[in-house]
Chain A
Amino acid sequence: MSIDTLFVDPSRCIGCRACEAACRECDSHKGESMIMVDFIDREFSMATQPTVCMHCESPLAPCAQVCPVMAISITPEGVVQQADASRCIACSNCVYACPFGVPKMDLTARLMKKCNLCYDRTSQDLQPWCAQACPTDALWYGTYEQFANERQGKPVRQTQFGTQEVRTRVYHVLPEEDSKLRVYIDADGVMRSGEGAQGEEPWVL
């Protein structure tokens, strides 16, 4: 069964932050963006990259699993929600657990905040604001089949951090065919992508 989901294609990202501006428009968190756009290394390149919640499927939502008060719920469709304000104790476990660095702790509100795939819109068959606004389709919303039919990038939803693999609901788009996105930290402590990860066996869950 194919589901509607987000596809993130950094090669198309122009760093305009329309997604951030649009995310701030949401009634549920007006003025706050749950998506982040970063220059990867401005002193070297103009390249930019948006970061959204990837909505991990396997292991299922590490952020929710480490939450001591079960504040982070997962919808039947597999969308991982922001922490429930009445439960969150601002312990930041989720912040440390997330492999993608997505949840942010709002210290003033004492509440974890993150992207919930615009659940109010997507559950009504509308697009999430970020993909709706994105002028270059670097963020794109639809099914895998539609994407494969219309576009040239190679979407993957398997990310390997060192030796730990994570399967997510949201896809990353790679320029070339590969089964997964691989990142690891080499012996010199430099983050690299591609083959070559060494080290201990996966330990998460």
Chain B
Amino acid sequence: MFRIATPTTTSSRRESQSGWTKSDELPDTLVPTHCSFCGVQCGMYLRVSDGQVTGVEPRDYPHNRGALCPKGVVAYQQVNHPDRLRYPMIRRGGKGSNLERATWDEALDYVVQRWQALQQQYGKDSIAVYSGSSMTNEKCYLMGKFARVGLGTRHVDYNGRLCMSSAGVAYAKAFGMDRAPFPMTDIPETNCILVAGSNVAECFPVMMQWLWRARDNGAKLIVMDPRETPTARTADVWLPLRPGTDVAILNAMLRYVINEGLTDEEYIAARTRDWDKVKDIVAPYTPEVAERIAGVPAKRIVRAAELYGHSPRSIIMHARGIEHSTHGVDNCLACINLALARGQVGKVGGGAMMITGQGNGQGGREVGQKANQLPGYRHIDVLEERQEIAEVWGIPESEIPGEGAAATEMVKLMASGEIKSCLVICSNLMVSLPDNAVVARALDNLDPLVVIDFFLSETAERADVVFPGSVWCEDEGTTTNLEGRVIKINRAVDPPGEARRDWQIVCELARRLGRGKYFEFQSSRDIFDELRRASKGGVADYSGISWEKIDRQSGVFWPCRSEEDTGEPRLFLERFAHKDGRARFHPIAYTPPAEEPSEAFPLRLTTGRVVYHYLSGNQTRRLGFLNSQAPEPWVEIHPNTARQFGVAHDERVRVRTPRGSMELKAVVAPTIRPDTIFIPFHYGHEGAANQLTNPAVDPTVKIPEYKVCAATLERVSSSMSPLPQQATENFTAANAPRMFPYTVGETKSPPQR
């Protein structure tokens, strides 16, 4: 049926056909690769005919076993999308004028000349780099190096700051290593799964098959979520807690485990430290106290603790629900305390697992594009680690700048004028950052704001220079999925029009800045080879990973320290990554969220995701099938609350918080707590939930509190819309409803030769 391309193909020439082919028959080549979206990184084949991506075929990869979610199925439609940026654009008349087509030379020279002038006048740190994690390790590594070597600025950070940075720090604190400790394929080995703040079904749909395999084996499912999500709907115990009160429940469960004598004392003594501190701090968290704080019946909390505490093997999974918080690190540590007390971490089918969200959320945070990190999880303020990287980069250690501002702090520096210009790649700040009115002011303060993207995102709309980049399958490289499995993305086609591969754009900028000799990469493989050397000896050691090994083994789990090393799918089986080999307990007390309901704002607003969209929606809102399922945001309201505020299902309502207000459609259903309302955040402009959210951040990792702020509701008085001048004729050829509509990016027939 199909011909499968050799996995690491780099040739862009189509193989010549020998013999006769029917003129209406196009040979399909299947290019093995992975999905461009979430952290699961499902394997897939792209169908390529005549230099064009025409479809998708299932690929039986170990962690997705041929399954795909709707985003994965239509991901390929990004490639030939009519909205693709095909040439560089520049705002010649300054702010307020239009983006106009420019040549590469004009745009690149303009940026470089502006940057050089700014740096001369205001110092190196007046330019910032704001990167992302939905791109390959090669590009993430390059962005860190470009900021520090190309521009010499200390201000480089990435959107993982908004994602799971709190979990990363919690794991580093507790275990000495920031990675999910086991592969998804271990999930069926467990007896109990506690999901804390993750709508696995909608955010990581393909992961659900592993949860169900565990449940088929008899495992129990406990879900902590203020909404009855598709994950919570069939759970054995659902704990519909108030947003931001997770610690109260987790500590009450730990107290139950202690009081019932369910702790694994032998394990605690042999493999952990600081247990005593935790014992004392959870003592006051009786189920009744937890009920008062979290608003969940004490009996249900006890039932959850019973199920969890009596399971021989148990897994805690957590994601943004507990991580997007002003005490995100604490929330994750409370989960880890519970798992450690039961002696679960380091057992097959047991432990704690953070579910990293972005496609390369794991890899993106270890290859050195984070404000305080160098490649391989090295710290930017440790002299030896700086020296190791300086040697790889071929610069003196003193030239590596110090720690810069975190992504959320960068916005403040842009607003205050300390940062004069910013290069944004793989990020859509106008949708993703909280309190986006402030973000808009900050971005408009930059001159120039430079954006590399393949669609004109809400952020790129504000840019002074836009460089057209490549979608994932127009380049090759590696990503590291939420299990820590390094996988290979293969090239299927070339970028359209004048668009270029992202790494080529960045290397060209470096060359024109006069730093070309540090960026002499001929291919992404060259970048990967340097990344391997740079990560050697670090915590996230990629030095033993080769593209060939990834193909051979269906992915390689880091750390992989040599050619012979096959990687480590399971971590902490014998020792933890701290020097003494022991895990740390951390005493965690409940702290309320930064903003709690008041008389004027009596509800709690929480934001989250829908299955049809990915992050800021810049990609998925353009794909017809996905967008037609969820074209605009809505607010989910409990019927009791709706009655109280005089709001009906499907009606337009206004949601107001201390920062702003927005109008949207009401979905009235008993699938949410009565004191909580929910809005999905994937939308831009007047649909952006981040007009409302609280910009308060966790003190250590600066992750914003997207998951809870105070809000209120009001009805929008609907005036009758005026009648049109002429009668409308329905069911004409043009406006007749079509039962089987085609959507943007889809074609009925394969490309014609």
Chain A positions within 8 Å of B, measured between CB atoms, are 11-18, 20-22, 24-25, 29-33, 42-48, 104-108, 113, 124, 127, 129, 132-137, 150-152
Q: Are B671 and A45 in contact (CB under 8 A)?
A: yes
Q: Are B216 and A16 in contact (CB under 8 A)?
A: no
Q: Does B551 contact A (CB under 8 A)?
A: no
Chain B residues within an 8 Å CB radius of A32: 740
* Complex: chain A residue closest to B671, CB-CB: A46
Q: Are A11 and B55 in contact (CB under 8 A)?
A: no
Could you tell me how many residues of chain B have their Cβ less than 8 Å away from some Cβ of chain A? 50
Q: Are A24 and B205 in contact (CB under 8 A)?
A: no
Q: Are B212 and A12 in contact (CB under 8 A)?
A: yes
* Complex: chain A residue closest to B204, CB-CB: A135
- Closest chain-B Cβ to A67's Cβ sits at a distance in Å of 19
Q: Are A25 and B56 in contact (CB under 8 A)?
A: yes
**B contacts with A: majority SS:** loop
Question: Could you name 20 residue pairs across A and B whose Cβ atoms are closer than 8 Å?
Answer: A14-B202, A14-B208, A15-B611, A16-B202, A18-B67, A18-B68, A21-B70, A21-B625, A24-B746, A30-B747, A33-B740, A42-B669, A43-B669, A46-B228, A108-B739, A127-B66, A133-B58, A133-B68, A135-B209, A136-B209
User: Within the complex, which residue of B56, B205, B671, B740 is in contact with A135, where a contact is CB–CB below 8 Å?
Assistant: B205
A155 to B614, CA, bound (A): 34
User: Within the complex, which residue of A42, A48, A133, A150 is in contact with B73, where a contact is CB–CB below 8 Å?
Assistant: A133
Chain A residues within an 8 Å CB radius of B740: 29, 31-33, 106, 113
- Closest chain-A Cβ to B610's Cβ sits at a distance in Å of 9
Q: Does B738 contact A (CB under 8 A)?
A: yes
Q: Does B670 contact A (CB under 8 A)?
A: yes
- Closest chain-B Cβ to A130's Cβ sits at a distance in Å of 10
* Complex: chain B residue closest to A13, CB-CB: B230
Chain B residues within an 8 Å CB radius of A135: 67-69, 205-209
Q: Mark B580-614, 1 if CB is under 8 A from A, else 0.
A: 00000000000000000000000000000001100
Task: Decide: A136 near B667, CB < 8 A? Known: A47-B233, A113-B740.
Answer: no
**A contacts with B: majority SS:** loop
* Complex: chain B residue closest to A33, CB-CB: B740
Task: Decide: A152 near B58, CB < 8 A? Known: A31-B748, A135-B209.
Answer: no
Q: Are B748 and A30 in contact (CB under 8 A)?
A: yes
Chain A residues within an 8 Å CB radius of B231: 14
Query: Which B residues between 220 and 272 are near A, CB-CB below 8 angstroms?
Result: 228-231, 233-234
Chain B residues within an 8 Å CB radius of A11: 234
User: Within the complex, which residue of B216, B228, B626, B742 is in contact with A152, where a contact is CB–CB below 8 Å?
Assistant: B216
Query: Which B residues between 404 and 434 are near A, CB-CB below 8 angstroms?
Result: none
Q: Are B216 and A151 in contact (CB under 8 A)?
A: yes
* Complex: chain B residue closest to A9, CB-CB: B212
Chain B positions within 8 Å of A, measured between CB atoms, are 1, 55-56, 58, 66-70, 72-74, 201-202, 205-209, 212, 215-216, 228-231, 233-234, 611-612, 625-626, 629, 649, 667-671, 736, 738-743, 746-749
User: Within the complex, which residue of B212, B216, B228, B668 is in contact with A43, where a contact is CB–CB below 8 Å?
Assistant: B668
A31 to B73, CA, bound (A): 12
A152 to B746, CA, bound (A): 38
* Complex: chain A residue closest to B741, CB-CB: A31
Q: Are B625 and A14 in contact (CB under 8 A)?
A: no
Q: Are A16 and B70 in contact (CB under 8 A)?
A: yes
Q: Are B67 and A21 in contact (CB under 8 A)?
A: no
- Closest chain-B Cβ to A168's Cβ sits at a distance in Å of 23
Instruction: List 13 other contacts, CB 8 Å, given A18-B72, A105-B739, A132-B66.
Output: A14-B231, A16-B611, A17-B70, A21-B625, A32-B740, A44-B670, A46-B233, A106-B740, A113-B740, A127-B58, A135-B68, A137-B209, A150-B216
Chain A residues within an 8 Å CB radius of B207: 135
Ranked 10 nearest A-B pairs via Cβ: A135-B205, A14-B230, A32-B740, A21-B73, A14-B201, A21-B70, A136-B208, A135-B206, A16-B611, A18-B70
Q: Are B205 and A14 in contact (CB under 8 A)?
A: yes
Q: Are A18 and B73 in contact (CB under 8 A)?
A: yes
Chain A residues within an 8 Å CB radius of B667: 42
Chain B residues within an 8 Å CB radius of A31: 740-743, 746-748
